[in-house]
Amino acid sequence: MPWFRKKLKGPVIQPPREVPDGLWAKCDKCGEIIYKRELARAFWVCPKCGSHFRIHSGQYIEILIDEGTFEEFDAEIGSVDPLSFVDSKPYPVRLKAAREKTKLNEAIICGIGNIDSISVSFAAMEFGFIGGSMGSALGEKVTRAVERALERRIPLVIVSASGGARMQESILSLMQMAKTGTALTRLHEAGLPYISVLTHPTTAGVMASYASLGDVIIAEPGALLGFAGPRVIQQTIGQELPEGFQSSEFFLDHGFVDLISPRNELKNNLSKLIRFMFESPK
């Protein structure tokens, strides 16, 4: 029997075994095959198990910022190679590949935009750019985003996704932890709110600096959060780690995260918090 007749007989058209790029996506958690258009409508959250797919920095702008209000700043800033660092590849080769892949100069987009008609200094990290790592240019961009909030007296929102400091810049990347932290202290002293949004994964140097310094810290469900990996911690403290350790839910239970927000409620939650903490200048 020809294959098309077999297919017509069945009540449901099954997706092909080989999932072509561009049409279908497979949920890593439950294995469900989902039509990508349906996923996009659901903010890239699996309709079966609620798992949050990792999305790009530009998609966070689409989801969280009022349409047509985002103005990007500092797009030209990107890391150079101050240490002439070579691991398996020279650092400039990695940078070039990341720039071609993401169409960004750095692992973060920064700008000004409205959340529910309130102007905010907004930044979203791009995990696809060398694992969302923080080098000296990224630290500079975050610092400028903080300073932009200070200058305009507006709230700051940063969506983080990061594997940590960028090892190719060694101590220069670690110094960004102090630099961004100091800038955020000035924002705090000026009485301006900072909301940090943690997405999967937010770890290491970024988690240990600006991502964990929010006045309010929101996490997406099921995100991996933490400083060092579980194996390193287990070896250091010589104890078994509890189940679910390093998840958004564990962090909420232990007071490190204030709220877990599904992605489809994130904008509404940000809007409510900003309105509660901040009164726009009349």
User: 11-31: buried (b, 16+ CB within 10 Å) or exposed (e) per residue?
Assistant: eeeeeeeeeeeeebbebeeee
Shorter beta-carbon distance to Zn ion: residue 47 or 128: 47
Q: Which pair of structure tokens corresponds to residue 5?
A: 């007749």
Q: Are strands 24-26 and 33-35 parallel, antiparallel or unpaired?
A: antiparallel
Q: What is the footprint of Zn ion within residues 20-79 (CB under 5 A)?
A: 27, 29-30, 32, 46, 48-49, 51
DSSP 135: -
Shorter beta-carbon distance to Zn ion: residue 52 or 267: 52
Shorter beta-carbon distance to Zn ion: residue 46 or 115: 46
Q: Are 246 and 207 in contact (CB under 8 A)?
A: no
Q: Smallest distance from the beta carbon of 157 to Zn ion, in angstroms?
A: 27
Q: Are strands 156-162 and 194-203 parallel, antiparallel or unpaired?
A: parallel
Q: Smallest distance from the beta carbon of 241 to Zn ion, in angstroms?
A: 25
Q: Smallest distance from the beta carbon of 34 to Zn ion, in angstroms?
A: 8
Q: Which pair of structure tokens corresponds to residue 273?
A: 């918090």
Q: Smallest distance from the beta carbon of 32 to Zn ion, in angstroms?
A: 5
Instruction: Give the separation between CA 153 and CA 63, rounded to whole angstroms.
Output: 24
Q: Smallest distance from the beta carbon of 51 to Zn ion, in angstroms?
A: 4
Instruction: Give the separation between CA 57 and CA 202, rounded to whole angstroms.
Output: 14
Instruction: Give the separation between CA 181 and CA 186, rounded to whole angstroms.
Output: 9
Shorter beta-carbon distance to Zn ion: residue 58 or 221: 221
Beta strands in 36-173 (DSSP E): 71-73, 108-115, 118-125, 156-162
Q: Which pair of structure tokens corresponds to residue 60?
A: 């966070």
Count of residues in contact with Zn ion, rule CB under 5 A? 8
Q: Smallest distance from the beta carbon of 31 to Zn ion, in angstroms?
A: 7
Residue numbers at the binding site for Zn ion (CB under 5 A): 27, 29-30, 32, 46, 48-49, 51
